[in-house]
Structure 1
Amino acid sequence: MGLTGAVVGEHRLDFASPPDDVSSVHDFLSDVWTAEPAVSVEDRMALELAIIELASNVIEHATAGIPLTCSLTLAVASDALEARITDDGRPASVDVAGATLPDDMAESGRGLALVQMVVDELRYDRHGDENRWTVRKSTRVA
């Protein structure tokens, strides 16, 4: 991962959808926060929002009706949190840099814009047959 500070913890979840869903991600993050009590509540909430939103999008949009294999890696460093979600689903046709909130009446389309609001960096890359979503959040000094 691209962290500059000393990494103090790394955590990984491998899951498949189906049968797994975002509940598996919620449970994983709960375990991470228990293992990493130095991460502030504000930083936890921001990163959790970003990760859950991305995982939900991956499960909803990348499956094309076929099973999906994913991994979520979360690194906790002295100055930042970084998460990467990889999946073997369809390529995403999104413009991460151009993500904006839709009008108030839209029923969807807010996810990537919300993620950008709560993290310092959001990246999407396609490598071979794999989608890679990376979010990075600088942490607050306690």
Structure 2
Amino acid sequence: MTTATGAHRVELDCPPDDVTAVHEFLARVWQAEPSVSAEDRMALELALVELTSNVIEHAGRGRQLACRVDLSCSSDGYAAVVSDDGAPAGIDPGDAELPDDLAESGRGLALVKMVVDDLRYDRVDDRNRWSLQRARHD
């Protein structure tokens, strides 16, 4: 769904929805926003898919999860919010670092931090709120 010029939203009910819905959402965004560079598309796709995947895996804790992804595109850059009604996150995104080469998990937030300029987490009114920003790279 597109909410306004440059503002886009998708709402997920997990399950049955999963990160495939985020890929499909971003494909629609790129059609509506042809000025987004290939570099920015790849970075935003990585960030939003990793973040949403973490939310689905960890915040749901085996129960139904409602998740929303909002993405705003402007001439200056991009802002996204991933919010959900799941369990509170027990991690500070500022502490996320890549694990050693043999680790089987723990890379998601570190990868997100590598491709965005700012990543924040807040708990607001019984909802998790992950916010990210990225300057435009044309």
Global fold match (TM > 0.5):
yes
Q: Which has the higher contact order (CA 8 A, sep 6+)?
A: 1
Q: How far apart in 2 are the matches of 1:95 and 1:14?
A: 25
1:80: which partner in 2?
Answer: 77
Q: How far apart in 2 are the matches of 1:98 and 1:66?
A: 27
Cα offset, 1:135, TM superposition: 1.0
1:66: which partner in 2?
Answer: 63
Query: Given the alignment of the two structures, is residue 14 of structure 1 paired with residue 11 of structure 2, yes or no?
Result: yes
**Structure 2 residues without counterparts, runs of 5 or longer:** none
1:115: which partner in 2?
Answer: 112
2:27: which partner in 1?
Answer: 30
Question: Which SS does the other structure have where 1:90 is aligned?
Answer: coil
TM-score by length of 1: 0.92
Query: Given the alignment of the two structures, is residue 90 of structure 1 paired with residue 87 of structure 2, yes or no?
Result: yes
Please report the RMSD computed on the Cα atoms of aligned residues, expressed in angstroms.
1.1
Superimposed CA distance per residue, residues 6-54 of structure 1 (whole angstroms, 9 cap, x where no aligned partner): x951001011101100000100000000110001000110011000000
Partners of 1:71 and 1:85 within 8 A in 2: yes
Give the letter for the 1:97 counterpart. Answer: G
Cα offset, 1:128, TM superposition: 2.1
Q: How far apart in 1 are the matches of 2:127 and 2:58?
A: 14
